[in-house]
Amino acid sequence: MTIPSAYIHIPFCQQICHYCDFTKFFYNERLADEYMEALYQEIHTYIPGGKARVKTIFVGGGTPTVVTLSQLERLLRMIDEHFDIPACEEYTFEANPGDLDLEKVKLLKAYGVNRISLGVQVFDDDMLEKIGRVHQVKDVYTNVDRLIQAGLTNISIDLMYALPGQTVGAFEETIDEALQFGLPHYSSYSLQIEPKTVFYQRYKKGTLVKPPEDDEAEMYELLQRKLADQGVNQYEISNFAKPGFESKHNLTYWNNEYYYGIGAGSHGYVPGKRTINIRPLPAYVKQAKANGRPILHEEPVGLKEQMEEEMFLGLRKASGVSLKHFKGKYSRTVNEVFKDAVPKLKERGLLTVGDDSIRLTDKGKILGNEVFQEFLLDS
């Protein structure tokens, strides 16, 4: 069966952000060289001959662009060796503002990268420092201009809200400044306090306080309204795009489709199972070099799990879950499988049911986790 997408993880960062719980390590040139060797072995194990045809490739991190120019070219070459880049509809690299010098931008363009996701977070230098970011606002302007001049115009920026000390007014200023770029895609996420992060330690000590929940909800509603006013439509709980610029790679996840998960700590979904790779860098490198399969855990995905995930993931989209598609895929209707959940959530005003879709209401988007847990089936 065809695997339509590939996620490739580069775990290195110049500095570790206070909120980040992704697999990441401080950049070291020697370690990055070893990692590239291991990464090659893993990719080659999945695709031992020829070039795989995929619809999307997403290179994330960490910070993929923190590596040296020669390491970046090495990475791009190994991807080009194993994937049919001209046939790939969307090829995304994550980057931090300030990492993209002219040579790196030209290199990305030359190897067929056609989308850039910039981790901006906020347009406020003081707040950037408080959350552990190393770039400044001016770097965003420099990098966006550099990308556009090189012809890389499909740019997305990430924004964060509900940060410690952030007011509704401050987040509104960030939204307004972000919209001045007129970019085709924006993602925005509220701060989640995750274990093994700087913010988690501060939270446990009582020295970190998030804004009140009412302020967080107001920030989210402000985000929805302001982007909609500019023709940037919400197509998923945290993602907004001008028509035609929705992230095809992320839609792979939300449509519950298969994808390779390559690199330290990566998650993959291939027929019959979900995989989680080894996170610690030395252990990942050792195992990948040994047999090309640095997998920590494989979890079988049966029919029950597939149907649950179809609802969890599909309801994140503004279009919701297609009733016709669900029945065609599983030979059962949503109402047959989840006969109690749908009317219960509809009565609470969290779901709306149309002729061929079930979607979250605005209230449901805010209370998404409460909705999703209702679609857990009994064993």
Band of residue 49 on the pLDDT scale cut at 50, 70, 90:
confident
The whole-model pTM stands at 0.94
Rounded to 5°, angle at Cα 31 from 139 and 119: 25
CATH 3.20.20.70 residue spans of the chain? 5-254
Question: What are the helix (H) ranges across 135-229?
Answer: 137-149, 168-179, 198-205, 213-229
201-240 residue pLDDT tens: 886 788 878 899 999 999 999 999 999 999 999 999 999 9
- The average pLDDT across 250-266 equals 96
d(CA 271, CA 91): 23
d(CA 34, CA 250): 29
283-342 residue pLDDT tens: 999 999 999 999 999 999 999 999 999 999 999 999 999 999 999 999 999 999 998 899
CATH 1.10.10 residue spans of the chain? 317-373
Contact 156, 227 (CB under 8 A): no
Contact 348, 375 (CB under 8 A): no
At residue 73, does pLDDT exceed 80?
yes
Q: What is the architecture, at CATH level 2, of domain 317-373?
A: Orthogonal Bundle (1.10)
- Assign domain 5-254 to a CATH class: alpha beta
d(CA 90, CA 223): 26
